[in-house]
A and B are shown apart, each in its own frame.
Chain A
Amino acid sequence: MKLYVKVALFVVLVIAIGGILAGLYLFNKKHTDTSTAKPDYLVTATVLQKEFEDNEKNASAKYINKILEVSGSIASVTPAGNTNFNITLKTGSDMSSVICTFPSTGDPSKYKMGDEITLRGECSGYLMDVLLNNCALVASRK
């Protein structure tokens, strides 16, 4: 074989292996680990809810798909449909709060109504409340 054929074959092989590895990496890509990820915004539950209530469009553009570190007081801890659980944070509004879904690896018995906590999660948007998913606890002050 001529040298340039060898080189060409080698290049094709490298590209193919690279492609397979990249594909496998993407396929097995994990969700952002919110317990260690750097937050895009630090905000209180009250301010976050108010921003969505005042201007949903602007708040959506600012927060959706971003990692938020949110502080607030626990209004309720609710077991959700499967093994996850939701923590609802109090805001300035009676009707609307910040609802945070924790993965099944969390322990709901750690949390009590009235606890002041800081958590990190990915913002999904606004329904009647601001919704955060994939949440992790950052700090808790009882």
Chain B
Amino acid sequence: MKRLFFLLLFLNIIFAANAQKFMTKNGYIGFYSKTSMEEIKADNNQVVGALDTSTGEMVFQALIKSFHFDRALMEEHFNENYMESDKFPKSVFKGKITNLSSVDFAKSGTYDVTVEGDLTIHDITNKVSIKGTIEVISGGINANSKFNIIPEDYKINIPGVVREKINKNLEVTVTMKYSPITNK
């Protein structure tokens, strides 16, 4: 009897936890740079993201080769010279919402959040703190953020002549539309 009770309790936790996990495989991350000499924009629409609303944990994964530029040559240089995407194919972020208590996942609305964690680009991991919003909608959750990164923080070396054409700070945009993970 006691065993059955624990079994039920355990199952209950699993099912409850499942309802609190959200995911997407069609997330968007883009970056943008503008100087007087050049405007650069790249889009990646194949970002995998997961959000656990009970713990506030967020995970993002993206393939570097999925970033698409308007100019083919720029995309080639980005992959071969700067990101070395054959050697370091993935970029990963693992973090946690630090002000989870201020988000009511049961109530539709937009909530400001701060997410802290480890961002790995070009095989270099840095601790970052990123501001964004969590938008609770019926049937899902959206997450949005805009923040800046400095390529040199990730040992991405851009030669002097080219460096002047790229803004010191790259603006990164994140747009995720999560759906609940349904239990099979």
Contacts and interface: CB of A to CB of B under 8 A. Distances in A.
A65 B68 CA distance: 13
Contacts of B156: none
Given A29-B72, A124-B65, A131-B66, A80 B45 contact: yes
Contacts of A6: none
A30 B72 contact: yes
Interface stretch (B21-29, B94-102, B131-139, B146-154): B21-29
Given A81-B30, A82-B30, A127-B61, A27 B71 contact: yes
Interface residues of A, number: 28
B162 interface: no
Nearest to B43: A82
A26 B25 CA distance: 33
Interface string A89-110: 0000010000101000000000
The interface residues of chain B, by DSSP majority, are classed as strand
Contacts of A129: 25, 46
B73 interface: yes
B90 interface: yes
Contacts of B48: 127-128
B45 A81 contact: yes
Given A125-B63, A125-B65, A129-B25, A99 B46 contact: yes
Contact of B68 (A26, A78, A99, A101): A101
B63 A99 contact: no
Contact of A84 (B27, B43, B61, B71): B43
Which 8 residue pairs are nearest across A and B when measured between Cβ atoms? A81-B28, A80-B45, A124-B65, A81-B175, A78-B26, A124-B66, A29-B72, A31-B72
